[in-house]
Amino acid sequence: MSDELREAIATRIGASGPMSLAEYMAECLLHPRHGYYARREPFGAGGDFVTAPEISQLFGEIVGAFMIHVWRQAGRPAPFALAEAGPGRGTLMADMLRTARLDPEFRAAARVVLIEASERLRGVQRARLGDDGADAQWVDTIAALPGLPTFLVANEFFDALPIRQFVNTAGGWRERMVGLDDRGALHFVAGPGGIDPALLPPGHGDAPEGAIFETSPAREAAAAELAAHIARHGGLALVFDYGHLQPGIGDTFQAVRDHAYADPLAAPGRADLTSHVDFAALARAARQAGAHVPAAMTQGAFLLASGMAERAGALGAGKSGPEQAAIVAAVERLCGEDEGGMGALFKVMGIAHPRLGRPIVPFELPA
Ligand code: SAH
């Protein structure tokens, strides 16, 4: 099997030296011809990983009901952008739009906007939305969102944005980079020293040799841009991803292929590359850009407080035993906090207009 992306990366490293993980991730995921999203069908049982909206329609239904609720709370602005960043197969938006039929005024005011970098996935999303997406609009970046009050969801979008890593060596902190070993294989190397301490976490001075610290200027910039858009035009963004609420030291850079962890350097463009999202860093960036950001919570707590168990009961009513068992299993997978469940590993954060009516339930308690 030809490995053009690996060859292209190796040639570039040979010519100009090691590349940062950020550059490596961007090449592997987004290369227009050989990148992961351009050529793999990552999602679902036959792909590399399963995401929440692909587990059950309940996920998109609960998110859709939440969006209707906050849109009412914001004073029912019309028109508004009903947006999604990184829509994958389009399942979440399709399930939200079906739920939106419950409120014809909401549906009529919604302009559907999808932020998607991959041409191939845009086609998949268009087909999935069908008539519901007849006047949907696709844009490349958050910056290209229309100047309307915006109600946006992003599921597993931020984890795909590039990260940088720093490693503590005997010679001080250095950027962790991708280089070539003497047999021409890709491997991790420590780049030049002289790292700006502002890039490093508080307390990095006490970290042991070999400690790795991650940061993602790309994710923080995306959160700031989204927050600035919402602070200017109104609305709310809901960000779901796996990650941690407190920053920490550690290497979470990972590759997933065929539902199993793989070596991130082994097959560029053939495995999904992600890392855990630092929600504290996103919240800081979004607040600095002028948004109101309530404390993030776990996905399980959010979905259950938003009525997922009740919705599951309604969906299961009158269905066969095996169908009901499948619905219960989906709720456990989405909300369960034990191993195999996404409920605790996944977090959700709201980025709201500062004058959106409070409390924002379920992030904030009802008065
Ligand atoms: N939300 C979907 C898919 C998550 S995968 C789900 O839950 O199933 C990540 C998605 O983000 C893909 O659609 C990918 O093409 C898109 N994406 C990744 N990086 C992007 C970028 N820099 N700009 C726009 N879209 C991007």
pLDDT tens, position by position, 70-83: 999 999 999 999 99
pLDDT digits (tens, 9 = 90+) for 316-359: 999 999 999 999 999 999 999 988 899 899 999 999 999 999 99
* Ligand 1, pocket-test mutation among 30, 142, 157, most atoms within 8 A of CB: 157
pTM of the model as a whole: 0.95
The bridge status of strand 150-155 relative to strand 235-244 is parallel
Q: Is the separation of the CB atoms in 160 and 29 below 8 Å?
A: yes
Ligand 1, atom nearest to 118 Cα: 15
Choose the residue to mutate in 28, 29, 37, 129 for probing ligand 1, maximizing ligand atoms within 8 Å of C-beta: 37
Angle at the Cα of 273 from the Cα atoms of 187 and 81, rounded to 5 degrees:
150
Ligand 1 center from residue 142 Cα (angstroms): 12
Tell me the backbone φ, ψ of residue 232, rounded to 5 degrees: -85, -40
Show Cβ contacts of residue 301 under 8 Å, excluding neighbours closer than 6 positions. 343, 362
Q: Which residues line ligand 1 (CB under 6 A)?
A: 37, 43, 51, 53-54, 86-88, 92, 115-118, 121, 155-157, 160-161
Kindly give the number of the ligand 1 atom that is closest to the alpha carbon of 159: 9
Q: What is the pLDDT of residues 108-149, one digit of tens each?
A: 999 999 999 999 999 999 999 999 999 999 999 999 999 999
Atom of ligand 1 nearest to the CA of 272: 5
Atom of ligand 1 nearest to the CA of 84: 1
What is the 115 CA–ligand 1 centroid distance (Å)?
8
B/e letters for 281-318, b = 16+ CB within 10 Å, e = fewer, are bbbbbbbebebbbbebbbbbbbbbebbbeebbeebbee
Distance from the CA of 159 to the center of ligand 1, in angstroms?
9
CA of 326 from ligand 1 middle (Å) equals 27
More confident site: 40 or 4: 4
As a whole number, the mean pLDDT across the chain is 94
Q: Which of 20-32 are b and which e, b meaning 16 or more Cβ less than 10 Å from the residue's Cβ?
A: bbbbbbbbbbbbe
Q: Residue whose CA is closest, atom 20 of ligand 1?
A: 117
- Residue 366: Cβ within 10 Å count: 6
Percent of the chain with pLDDT over 90: 85
Cα(323) to ligand 1 centroid in Å equals 30
- What does the DSSP 8-state code read for residue 295? P
Tell me the CA–centroid distance for residue 15 and ligand 1, in Å. 31
pLDDT for res 2: 55
CA of 86 to the centre of ligand 1 (A): 3
Q: Which residues, 6 or more positions from 238, have their beta carbon under 8 angstroms from its beta carbon?
A: 63, 66, 67, 152, 153, 154, 348, 349, 350
